[in-house]
Amino acid sequence: MLFLGLVAFSVLSELALHLLADFSEFFFDRSPLLGIAIVLMALTFFIIGIGGITIGSGATYLCENVTIRSVLQRTMDRFWPLFCCFLLWLLVVTILTVTVIGIPFAIYFAVRWGFFIQTIMFEKPVITIALGRSGELVKPMWWRVFGVLLAIFLLETMVHAIIEISIGFILVATNLVSEVGFIDILEWGLFGGSFEGVTPFFYAISVIIHLAVYALSFPIWIIGITLLYFNQRIRIEGFDIEMQVPQSNTIESDLG
């Protein structure tokens, strides 16, 4: 129930972005303020979702008993640092990527700063220190972290695609839907997006399926990074030994 409640925020964010992409003409051409409001709402839910899942994963790893309320409280306490740090990370990586020649640097910094969520949620540094702190954990083993992150990403992508395509194939094979074929389902599962020229009913069904599968696959990414974060701390700082030292504030300081 804990993770189900936390994932709900990420699902709401994905729904908002999905509707925004499919009806961008309406939101931005006819009602730009509504479009901006939906973008901000999607970002807010996304930040709460990733922050909450991170805290929940860390609490589970550290054998802490937490509730949805306590996790959300801790997440909201760190909302603005996480929000700003995410925008900074996204801005730098995006700018480097669009220059094309900066793509290798985009990959490098995306990995180097890959633990900014965990450092903010567990160690509570300011924004710039959070990025630097992530770099400290990644730099000695950059290639290892890159490989593990890539594996986690591929796992999440494969899980999402396999489940989504399988459900779509079942719907087509059983003639429950007639607007699309197997190729359309395959493209939908592999490349995302929405179907064109379908009935509102089928569109709603496809969105519901996508969100349900997203709720199952997205946490893989956040949980995987969180576990990798603790693993890096163990390898570099002996975090497992630190946890065994009888200090009254050890776990509290890590969970915030």
* Dihedral sign of CA atoms 79, 8, 223, 3 in order: positive
In tens, the pLDDT along 142-175 reads 999 999 999 999 999 999 999 999 998 888 888 7
Domain extent at residue 177: 2-255
Residue 59: pLDDT above 60?
yes
Beta strands in 105-179 (DSSP E): none
Residues shown for the chain? 256
If we measure between CA atoms, which residue out of 184, 194, 185, 191 comes closest to residue 23?
194
The Cα 238–Cα 110 span in angstroms is: 25
Range of lowest pLDDT (26-40, 190-204, 234-248): 234-248
Residue with the larger pLDDT of the pair 218 and 33 = 218
**26-36: average pLDDT:** 78
The Cα 244–Cα 221 span in angstroms is: 28
In degrees and rounded to multiples of 5, residue 246 shows phi and psi of -75, 75
Total domains present in the chain: 1
Residue 87: pLDDT above 60?
yes
